[in-house]
Amino acid sequence: QEACEARGCTWCSSDVPNAPWCFFPENSPYGYARSGNAVQTDKGWRVTLNKRQALSLFGNDISPIVLEVEFQTKDRLRFRLYDPNAQRFEVPLKIDGPGVTAEEANYEVE
């Protein structure tokens, strides 16, 4: 807990299996923030994310990036993060799903 809080992170123990106890707070200078509203797509939604500040944990950050979410089946969600300004290698694996509405899914996305 001390090491977590010393990094400026939030510590919150949990009884939920596999839940992280140490994480960046919502107002952290690291990471990305949503730019505009999510846009509905045929199979889910898409949102653009911009880097929050010049701080970088790993270097060579890309901004903006796009988060695309597909509700593939009632038990399977696919998300994809990509650079909208430069084509990059993606594993050529195509997994088609019939697509479901959020109301039919056995999971929630916020």
Looking at the structure, tell me whether residues 48 and 72 fall in a common domain: yes
48 and 5 inside one domain: no
Whether residue 53 sits in one domain with residue 42: yes
DSSP 48-85: EEEE-SS--SSS---SSEEEEEEEEETTEEEEEEE-TT
- pLDDT band per the 50, 70, 90 thresholds, residue 29: confident
- pLDDT, one tens digit per residue, over 89-109 is 988 888 777 777 767 888 888
pLDDT of residue 52: 86
Examine the domain organization and report whether 61 and 23 are in the same domain: no
Task: Indicate if 24 and 54 belong to the same structural domain.
Answer: no
Same domain, yes or no, for 43 and 20? Answer: no
Residues 9 and 35 in one domain: no
- 104 phi, psi to nearest 5 deg: -85, -15
Kind and range of the H or E run holding 6: helix 2-6
pLDDT for 109 equals 82
3 and 49 co-located in one domain = no
Return the closest-CA partner of residue 62 out of 37, 44, 94, 87: 87
Number of domains in the chain: 2
d(CA 74, CA 45): 16
Q: Is the pTM of this model over 0.85?
A: no
CB atoms within 10 A of CB 92: 5
CA distance 25 to 4: 11
Domain of 17, in residue numbers: 1-28
**Claim to verify: residue 18 and residue 62 sit in the same structural domain:** no
The verdict on 22 and 71 lying in the same domain is no
- 38, 56: one domain: yes
Instruction: Say which DSSP state 29 is in.
Output: S
